[in-house]
Chains A and B, each alone.
Chain A
Amino acid sequence: GDSVTQMEGPVTLSEEAFLTINCTYTATGYPSLFWYVQYPGEGLQLLLKATKADDKGSNKGFEATYRKETTSFHLEKGSVQVSDSAVYFCALSDQPGGSEKLVFGKGMKLTVNP
């Protein structure tokens, strides 16, 4: 079945450091790919998404590019802030363009220190 593998952490960075969170997937067909973020004590929020190969999703300074050849959707940010401390989840949907059913990675906890 479909699956998502991501870095699990936890990871601690200093403010203004570069962030990469690796995510690879296994799926039949052409899935849509997502990054969700969970701030302390809250539910998950969609951070960004990409629905076809070579699409780049971006939001709040975060970016991720859908790479079909490497089945990857790595999340990057050039300069993290303390407010980026959260848990990050990579996810996929096997419906192109939609997310009726999502499969999540295990999540990675990021702490950013001043």
Chain B
Amino acid sequence: DAGITQSPRHKVTETGTPVTLRCHQTENHRYMYWYRQDPGHGLRLIHYSYGVKDTDKGEVSDGYSVSRSKTEDFLLTLESATSSQTSVYFCAILWPPTGEQYFGPGTRLTVT
């Protein structure tokens, strides 16, 4: 168990509203990631972080921003949600001893 939690686990919101998803880890891992999962696309990287205040864009970063003000929390914000952002969002951490990524349970977001 890599100690990753995501909140909320489910959310329904309306187009145009801001939404923030939280990823929390308990073991001070340096690297954290946000992915989205969509049918026919697999998992695609949105943003990742390699330390406090150090973040970078992934493959599908348009419409998303992230923040990491402390090691344990990595926030994903949709400034103005759109229906195309309806998806399942997964957070992950990098486990240094093995170089493997471990995933949280996911957040199902529906934008109506």
Contact = CB atoms under 8 A, between A and B. Distances in A.
B45 interface: yes
A44 B42 contact: no
Contacts of A106: 40-42
Contact of B101 (A42, A102, A107): A102
Contact of A44 (B45, B48, B94, B103): B103
Contacts of A78: none
Contacts of B44: 104
Q: Which of A32, A97, A107 has the most CB of B within 10 A?
A: A107
A43 to B, nearest CB: 4
Contacts, number: 48
Interface residues of B, number: 20
Contact of A46 (B90, B100, B105): B100
A26 B63 CA distance: 28
Interface string A7-24: 010000000000000000
A58 interface: no
Interface residues of A, number: 22
Nearest to B108: A41
Q: Which of A32, A34, A89, A100 has the most CB of B within 10 A?
A: A100
B100 A89 contact: no
Interface string B24-44: 000000010000000011111
Interface string A82-114: 000000010001010111111011110000000
Interface of B: 31, 40-45, 48, 50, 90, 92, 94, 99-106
